[in-house]
Each structure stands twice: as C-alpha cells, then as structure tokens.
C-alpha cells in the first residue's frame, strides 16, 4: 500500500466505460456480480457500511467498521471479491450461499470478524483487516439470500463464515472522533438488524473474456 493509504488498481478504460453504462441503465442487470464496487445499506437503520483509517481503541485494535447516514461518502465503497481459495471472475453473478470477501476500496482492507468483543454493544467485533486486499480466512462471508443469485433489489444477510455471526447494526452510536457513526458488529441470532441492500455502485457486466478478480479504480 502506498503512502496515501489508497488501493490503486486501474480499470482498463473500455471496462470502466462499460461499467458506467451498466450503472446508468440499471434495468439491464438485476443481480450483483464479482468485481462490482458497491455501497451496502443496513435496511432497518438506514446506514451504509463504512470504514476509514481509524483504529479501535479496544479489542483487536484493527481498523474500525461503522455505519454512516451520509450517502455521498467515498469511504463506504466495497469491492465484491472471491476468496483466496475460490476466485470469482469479474462479472460472474454472486450465488446465494457463496463465500465472498468485501474489500474496502479506499484502504484495501477486508471486512473481517473474530471473537473480540465490540466496544459499545459487547457483541462480536467487526473490523477491516489485511493489506492490498489480502488478509486471512477470517475475511470470508457467506451471502444469504432467497433465490439462486444475489439480486440488487433484495435485502440479504452476510454470515461470517468462520464464526457464523451475522453482520448487524443495532443503533449504538460512537462519540469522538467518529461522532454519530453507528457500531457494526456480528450477532449470532438473525433479526431485522441483519439485512443489507446494495445501493450506489459500479456493477460489473458479465463478460465472455477472462479477467482478474480484483480490478478497480478508487477515485469515482
């Protein structure tokens, strides 16, 4: 990772133009694909999954993950990727029950969980971990959805593959230096706090040509 802390893996210009066309004509593609860069909204609390280069003062001390009400913040973009054991080629629809990684675009760290306690609710801590998109097996999440593939308009859940905790928000708010941001944590029991929906983003179209799993440009 460079000194700016940004992950910079460039789109080929033809791919970028194709992505932007897909975004502007959303009726073309109703499902989420690997390589897409998205914002995820917690449906109950109306906050977007967010991270930034601010570390927890307790627990793991890793990069914090929160929920924010602001729609425009670029620190809420996440790239949908395959796992270290199972690549997911760009443009491939994400299957219900598939294990994925969600990589924070601006810092290159993966959505992560473990048995540390979250600072506000004492649930399971959720953090961002790794460098340049590579962390460990605790970065993997299973997409839980109703049909065969993850639909863009569908409310889905993300179950941490190793601990089985569900990515959740229950409303607790941080003070300084991230005043008003909501705690994001893992919960073992499914509830309305655990449902997420894709919002803004660049959705990769299925392609007949082979391509890399992770090819993004961070400056939208």
3-state SS, one letter per residue, for 173-194: ECCCCCCCCEEEEEECCCCHHH
**Does residue 209 carry a pLDDT above 50?**
no
Distance of alpha carbon 68 from alpha carbon 90, whole angstroms: 28
- Tokens encoding 72: 């425009």
Residue 150 has pLDDT above 50, yes or no: yes
pLDDT band at 47 (very low <50, low <70, confident <90, very high): very high
Say how far apart CA 218 and CA 220 lie, in whole Å.
6
How far apart (Å, rounded) are the C-alpha atoms in residues 73 and 87? Answer: 29
The pLDDT, as a whole number, for residue 205 is: 87
pLDDT at 28: 61
DSSP code string of 20-84: HHHHHTGGG--B-BTT-EEEEEETTTTEEEEEEEEE-SSTT--EEEEEES-SS-GGG-EEEE--S
Q: Where do the domains of the chain lie?
A: 33-202
In eight-state DSSP terms, residue 162 is: T
The torsion defined by the Cα of 72, 78, 79 and 85, in degrees rounded to 10, comes to 180
Mean pLDDT of 141-162: 97
pLDDT digits (tens, 9 = 90+) for 175-196: 988 999 999 999 999 999 999 9
Residue 110: the pLDDT is 98
pLDDT given at position 177: 86
User: What CATH number is given for 33-202 in this structure?
Assistant: 2.80.10.50
On the question of pLDDT at 214 being above 90, the answer is: no
Give DSSP secondary structure letters for 75-130.
GG-EEEE--SSS---TTPBPBTT-EEEEEETTT--EEEEEEEEPTTT-SEEEEEE-
What is the three-class DSSP state of 137? helix
Collapse the DSSP code of 138 into the 3-class scheme (helix H, G, I; strand E, B; otherwise coil) and give the result: helix
Residue 187's pLDDT is 98
pLDDT at site 149: 97
């Amino acid at each position: 990772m460079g000194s700016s802390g940004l992950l910079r893996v460039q789109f080929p210009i033809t791919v970028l133009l194709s992505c932007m066309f897909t975004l502007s004509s959303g009726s073309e593609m109703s499902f989420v694909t690997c390589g897409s860069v998205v914002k995820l909204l917690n449906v109950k609390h109306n906050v977007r999954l967010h991270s930034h280069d601010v570390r927890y003062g307790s627990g793991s001390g890793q990069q914090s993950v929160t929920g924010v009400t602001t729609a425009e913040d670029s620190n809420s973009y996440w790239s949908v990727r395959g796992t270290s054991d199972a690549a997911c080629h760009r443009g491939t629809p994400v299957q219900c029950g598939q294990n994925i990684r969600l990589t924070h675009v601006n810092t290159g760290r993966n959505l992560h969980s473990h048995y540390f306690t979250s600072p506000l609710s004492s649930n399971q801590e959720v953090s961002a971990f790794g460098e340049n998109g590579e962390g460990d097996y605790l970065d993997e999440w299973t997409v839980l959805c109703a049909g065969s593939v993850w639909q863009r308009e569908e409310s889905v859940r993300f179950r941490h593959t190793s601990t089985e905790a569900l990515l959740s928000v229950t409303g607790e708010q941080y003070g300084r230096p991230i005043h008003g941001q909501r705690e994001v944590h893992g919960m073992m029991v499914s509830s309305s706090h655990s449902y997420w929906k894709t919002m803004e983003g660049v959705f990769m179209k299925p392609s007949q040509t082979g391509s890399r799993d992770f090819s993004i440009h961070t400056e939208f």
